[in-house]
Amino acid sequence: MTFDRRSLLTLPLAAGLALPAFARSGAQFTAAQSRATDLPMWPPAERFALWPGIPPGAPNPLPVPQPRMPRYPDGYRDFQMRGVVRPEVGVFRPARPDGRAVLIVPGGGYSITSLRNEGIDVARVLNGFGITAFVLSYRLPGEGWADRADVPLADAQRAIRLIRANARAYGIRAEKLGVLGFSAGGHLAGSVAVLHEFKAYRPVDAADRHSARPAWAGLMYAVSNMDPGRSHGGSRANLLGPDPLPAVQARYAIDRQLKAGDPPLFLVHAEDDNTVPVANSVDT
């Protein structure tokens, strides 16, 4: 059986995501279904901002938001963003919630965020299993923000804390909140998991008293290595900038930061992935 990257998006391959039930259902999200609408799908009906006002470390001038909807050869239309100034989280509630929750982190090489392909569509599949899904629209590191490599991590940490602070309103179990990321978003999900003790930003309000450590992290064809020739070159350059020092590379390499006390990780990667080398997962 042959799978492409988008086929993998429909697999809830992380702790507590009802994999046996999913396998029995034969659930899929097909190109035909994705063509049901070509309307922009972001922002969603329910969402919340991560920061009060403009986030810290803003450049002058601010990035210009640039949404786009590229069409793939099979007719599928993604929804992508760059120039995010006000990062936010889209909330996707299931018809019959069971208390489980996932923060979904789309990828895009840290140059765009693929909000539909690796976010909204994934949320809809998980909703079918009673899982409340949150899709993160985060700032990109190469758009002038101070402390560029920490900018996406700050948004992800803040998102986890805000979700937990409002767990009762969302009908979820805060302690079970996991994170599921794809490609560069997988790097960000892994970073949240292994750098959970690192303070990527100064506390803003009471929500920041909550832990940013996810209960688990699912890394889907993730960029886990930052060594030249082994990493995904675009993600590495966009995150770290040109010619990063070896110590900087090591700090943001998931495979170099694993330690006791980190949440469990689940990794999925195609052996013949020609975008992110499979060694990123095999060697982690």
- Does any domain span residue 57? no
- Does any domain span residue 114? yes
Q: What is the pLDDT of residue 222?
A: 84
Please give the C-alpha separations between residue 198 and each of 144, 154, 157, 186, 212, in angstroms, as whole numbers: 22, 10, 10, 18, 9
Residue 249: partners with Cβ closer than 8 Å, 6 or more residues away: 226, 227, 236, 240
- Does any domain span residue 59? no
Using alpha carbons only, how large is the chain's radius of gyration in Å? Answer: 17
User: Which residue shows structure tokens 């299993």?
Assistant: 129
Q: What is the distance, to the nearest Å, from the Cα of residue 75 to the centroid of all Cα atoms in its chain? A: 24
At position 31, the amino acid (one-letter code) is A
Number of structural domains found in the chain? 1
Q: What is the pLDDT of residue 226?
A: 77
Q: Cα separation of 127 and 122, whole Å?
A: 9
- Does any domain span residue 12? yes
- Does any domain span residue 37? yes
Q: Cα separation of 178 and 133, whole Å?
A: 10
Q: Cα separation of 175 and 182, whole Å?
A: 22
- Does any domain span residue 58? no
At position 68, the amino acid (one-letter code) is R
Tokens of 211: 């832990």
- Does any domain span residue 14? yes
- Does any domain span residue 56? no
Q: Cα separation of 173 and 130, whole Å?
A: 13
In the chain (284 residues long), the average pLDDT of successive 10-residue segments reads 49 44 40 51 94 97 96 93 98 98 97 96 97 99 96 99 99 98 96 96 98 97 79 82 90 91 94 82 77
Is the preceding peptide bond at 61 cis, omega within 30 degrees of 0? yes
CATH code, 128:
3.40.50.1820
Domain extent at residue 26: 5-51+64-282
Residue 200: partners with Cβ closer than 8 Å, 6 or more residues away: 150, 153, 154, 157
